[in-house]
Structure 1
């Protein structure tokens, strides 16, 4: 059975904020960021790419990561039997682990 992909509101906000920041840096770059996000979500929907398990508590709760192409962001996913829940679009060097409380829900 193919799993669905659900994006938490907080994660969607993060992606929108990052896209807006990139767009301010260079016109069109925000759109390229959103295309990278969409490509990652397509990979999740198709279960095409293996996800990297995360260490510690988050990993024990089923959290895994998919690194975006070209941008320093990871898609943090909680893997469940029937769906992938995107809990964060996290910058790889800013505020590590801020999203961990989202894995509990």
Structure 2
């Protein structure tokens, strides 16, 4: 299993989204958190099985929420660079 690191900008994406859900429903926020954790576990287990979005990055689509987790493989490590909402500008994270 690879080590997964979340860059600070991706952490901000996640925190902002979790807060938005929590303001509306604690249960939904908990579901979002659980789905995010599940995604990170699957990414860590087999990162190369997920589709590429460019030459360096891959993505994981959350099932229940309109988000993509954008990550790259750096040696034996995984770096999450964005938790991107589907209706946000699609390439806002490319400079990370």
TM-score under structure 1 length normalisation? 0.83
Spell out structure 1 runs of 4+ moving beyond 6 A.
none
- Normalising by the residue count of structure 2, what TM-score does the alignment of the two structures yield? 0.91
- Provide the aligned length of Structure 1 versus Structure 2: 96
1:1-60 deviation line (CA, Å, top 9, x unaligned):
x42111101111111110110111223211111111100001112117721111xxxx12
Counterparts of 1:48 and 1:95, CA distance in 2: 24
Paired residue secondary structure (1:44): helix
Q: Distance in 1 between matches of 2:51 and 2:94?
A: 16
Partner of 2:95: 101
| CA distance in 2: counterparts of 1:49 and 1:82, whole angstroms | 12
Structure 1's unaligned 5+ residue stretches are: none
Gaps of 5+ in 2: none
